[in-house]
Chains A and B, each alone.
Chain A
Amino acid sequence: MEIIQNVLLGFGVALQPVNLLYCFIGCLAGTLIGVLPGIGPVTGVAILIPITFGMDPITATIMLAGIYYGAMYGGSTTSILINVPGESASVMTAVDGYQMARQGRAGAALGMSAFGSFIGGTVSVVGLMCIAPPIAKLALSFGPPEYFVLMLLGLATLTRLAGKNLWKGLGMGFLGMLIGTVGLDPVAGVQRFTFGRADLLDGIGFVSVAMGLFALGEIFINLEGSPSERVFSSQIGSLFPTKSDWLACKWTLVRSTIIGFLIGSLPGAGATVSAFMAYAAEKKASRTPERFGNGAIEGVCAAETANNAATGGALIPLLTLGIPSSATVAILMGALMMYGLRPGPLLLTERPDFFWGVVTSMYIGNVMLLVLNLPLIGMWIKILKVPYPVLMPIILLFISLGAYTVGGSLVDLWIMFAFGIVGYLMRKFDYPAAPLLLALVLGPIMEKNLKLSLKMSHGSVAIFFQRPITLILMALIVFSLVWPLLVSRFSRGKEKFEVPISEET
C-alpha cells in the first residue's frame, strides 16, 4: 500500500505542467545528444547543467534524467543508419543494426530498437520503485564509518572503469581525489592548494572538469582527422517490426531487461557493459548464432533493451546509497549536490516528493521517447547530414558558455580549457578519464567521513572493523576486487568476450 501511495505522490509531482515540459525538453535534448556522434550522455548532461541553475531541483533533475535515458534512445539511430554509434552504449546495436539497414530493413531495426528501449526502460523504472525503498531503509542506520566504507566501495569500482591497465585506472582515481583536495579542508576549514584565490575556495568544479575531459578533449581528438561530411543514403521503410520479428524477440526482451537492470545497478558497469552482456547472452541462447553480426534483429533488440534497462538500475546506488555507478551518474550526483540535495538514504525520507517525482517522471519520459522517436526519425536523419565543421564550433561555444555560467568566473573557463588539454593527452597516452571524474566527486565525501569517523573513535581505525554494516561492505569491496580475477580464471579455454569498459555510461 505504501508503495502505491508513494507512486501516486510521484505522479502528482511529475505530472505538473512545468515538470512535464522539462521532461519533454530533457528527452528531446537527450535524443539529440545521442544522435550526434562525438557528444555522449556525460558531455550532454555536463553541458546542460548550467541551464538548470535557478530551476527547482526536482524539475532540474527530471530534465537531466531525461537527457540521460534519452541519449540511450538517440544513440541507436546513428548506429543503425550510418554504423557510427552516437554513444558507447550503442556500439553493439551497430553490429546487427547497420547490417539490417544495408538489407533494406532499417525501419524494422529502428522500430524494434525504440520498442525494446521502451520496454527495458519502463521495467527498470518499476524495478527501481520496488527495490530502492528497502535499500534506503537499511541505509538509514549508516553513520560516518559506514559512509566512508561505502565511498571506498564506490571507489573500488575504479578497477572496473580502469580498462586494460589497472595502474593507469587507479592512478587517475588517486589524481581525481588529489584534485578534490583543492579548496577548503572539509572539517578544519583550512585552505589547500588555492594559491590565495577566492574562486578556488569551493574547489575545482566537476562540471568544468567533465566538460574539459570529455567534451573539449573529444573535439581535439576529432580534429586530428579531416572534418568530413557524413552521408546517409539507406531507405528506411516501415518503422514497425513484423509479427515474425516480435516472435523472434519475445524472450530476448525478457532476458535483456533482466540482464540490463541487474548489471546497470552494479557500480562500475553501466549501460555499455549491460548492452554487451545482453548481446552475448542472446547469441549464446540462439539456435542460429551464426546470424548474429549479419543482421539478426534479436541482436538489435538485446543491446537496446539492455542499455535502457541499465539506466533505471544505475540510479539505485545513487539515489539510495549516494554512490554513482558510472561517469554519467557521477555527474548527476554532482548536480544534485549543487542543488543542495544529498544523494543517499536520507533523500528518500527527507524528500520523498523529489525521489518519487523523479522516478515516476522516468516512466513518463519513456512513454514520451517512444512517441517522439518514431515520428522524428526524419528529423534526426536531417541532423545527421549537418557537417561536422558546422557543428563543432557550436558545440565548443556551448561548452565554453556552460563552463562560464557554473560560477560566473573565468577560472571555470580556464579549468575547462586545461582539462580539455589533459583529456586529449589522456586519450593519446591511453589513460581512462572516468575514474578521475568519479574520484573527484567521491573523494571529498570520503575524506569528510574518514575524519569524522576518526574523531568518533579518537583516532582508532578499529571503528571500521567493529560495526556489522562496515564489515559487510568491506566484504563486498573484497568481492568486487576478486570477482573479475575469478571470472577470467574460470573462463580460460572457453569462448572469451572482451568486455568493453565505457567511459561514458
Chain B
Amino acid sequence: MTARLADTISGLFLIILAVVAGVAAQYLPTTIAKEFAGPSFMPTLLSIALAVCGAGIVVQARSLPPTDRMPGWFEADRAGAVRIAVVAAATAAYNLLLEPLGYLIVTFAFLVFMLFYLKVSWFLNLIISLIATVSTYALFVIWLKVVLPMGLLEFYF
C-alpha cells in the first residue's frame, strides 16, 4: 500500500462520511423556539468541515511520491492478519454471549480460548483463566458492587 493510495482512500472515506452525516443532519429541526442555532446547526457545520479536511487529504496525497510505501504496513503478513481477525472475532463473540450465558461462563471460555490460541500451555491456561475470572468477579461484583450479567447461572448468584 503506497502512502498516496492510503491517503486518497481515507480522504474519500471521510468525504463520504461527511456527506452522509450532512444529509442526515438535514432531517433534524433547523430551529426550536426561535433558537438561533438549532439542532441541525453543528452537525451540518461539522460535516462541511470534515468534507473539507477529507478533500485536503486527497489533494495533499497527490503531492506524495507515488512509490512511497505506507510506514507500518506489512508487505503480506497473513499470519498477523489472521491473528487480528481471530482475536476480533473472539471479542465480538464475547460481546454477543455475555448477557445470554453470563459473565463467569463467557469470561472463562474467552480466556481459555485466547490463551490456547496464543499457545500458552494447558496447565497455565486453566490456572490463569480460573484465577482471572474469579478475581475479576470478586473485584467488580463483590467489592465494587457492580452488576454483571449472570446469564445461565442467575439462579445461583
Contacts and interface: CB of A to CB of B under 8 A. Distances in A.
B117 to A, nearest CB: 9
B49 A389 contact: no
Interface stretch (A131-139, A453-461, A467-475): A453-461
Contacts of A223: 80, 83-84, 87
Given A171-B14, A174-B53, A188 B87 contact: no
B50 A178 contact: yes
A429 B7 contact: yes
A167 B37 contact: no
Interface of A is mostly: helix
A188 B35 contact: yes
B136 A401 contact: yes
B98 A455 contact: no
B81 to A, nearest CB: 8
A192 interface: yes
Interface stretch (A87-95, A254-262, A265-273, A408-416): A408-416
Interface in A211-268: 216, 219-220, 223-227
A225 B72 CA distance: 11
B148 interface: yes
B98 A413 contact: yes
A417 B95 contact: yes
A375 B57 CA distance: 51
Contact of A397 (B17, B74, B111): B111
Contacts of A167: 53, 56-57, 60
Interface residues of A, number: 61
Contacts of A404: 98, 148
Given A392-B118, A413-B95, A450 B28 contact: no
Interface in B35-85: 35-39, 42-43, 46-47, 49-50, 53-54, 56-57, 60, 70-74, 77, 79-81, 83-84
Contacts, number: 161
Interface in A183-205: 185, 187-188, 190, 192-193
B88 interface: yes
Q: How large is the interface on B (under 10, 10 to 19, 20 to 34, 35 or more residues)?
A: 35 or more
A390 B128 CA distance: 8
Contacts of A431: 10
Nearest to A392: B118
A458 B14 CA distance: 34
Given A224-B80, A459-B36, A430 B70 contact: yes
Interface in A400-451: 400-401, 404-405, 408, 410, 413-414, 417, 420-421, 424, 427-431, 447, 450-451
A51 B95 contact: no
Given A167-B53, A400-B94, A454-B37, A192 B6 contact: no
Interface string B24-37: 10001100110111
Nearest to A171: B53
Contact of B57 (A168, A174, A392): A168
B16 interface: no
A392 to B, nearest CB: 7
Contact of B120 (A171, A390, A455, A459): A390
Given A54-B145, A227-B118, A430-B72, A171 B57 contact: yes
A175 interface: yes
A404 B96 CA distance: 12
Contact of B39 (A190, A405, A420): A190
Interface string B1-13: 0010011011000
Contacts of B140: 51, 401, 405
A394 B136 CA distance: 10
A457 to B, nearest CB: 8
A227 to B, nearest CB: 6
Contacts of B114: 392-393, 396
A181 interface: yes
B32 A170 contact: no
B83 A181 contact: no
B136 to A, nearest CB: 6
Contacts of B49: 170, 174
Contacts of A174: 46, 49-50, 53
Contacts of A393: 110-111, 114-115, 118, 132
Given A170-B53, A410-B98, A430-B72, A175 B14 contact: yes
Contacts of B111: 393-394, 397
A165 interface: yes
Given A181-B42, A424-B84, A410 B47 contact: no
A181 B21 CA distance: 11
A203 to B, nearest CB: 13
Given A51-B139, A167-B60, 6 more contacts: A167-B56, A177-B46, A220-B84, A390-B118, A413-B98, A428-B70
8 contacts: A178-B46, A387-B120, A393-B111, A398-B136, A405-B148, A414-B95, A428-B73, A429-B70
Give 5 nearest A-B pairs by CB, closest first. Answer: A171-B53, A389-B118, A393-B114, A167-B56, A224-B80
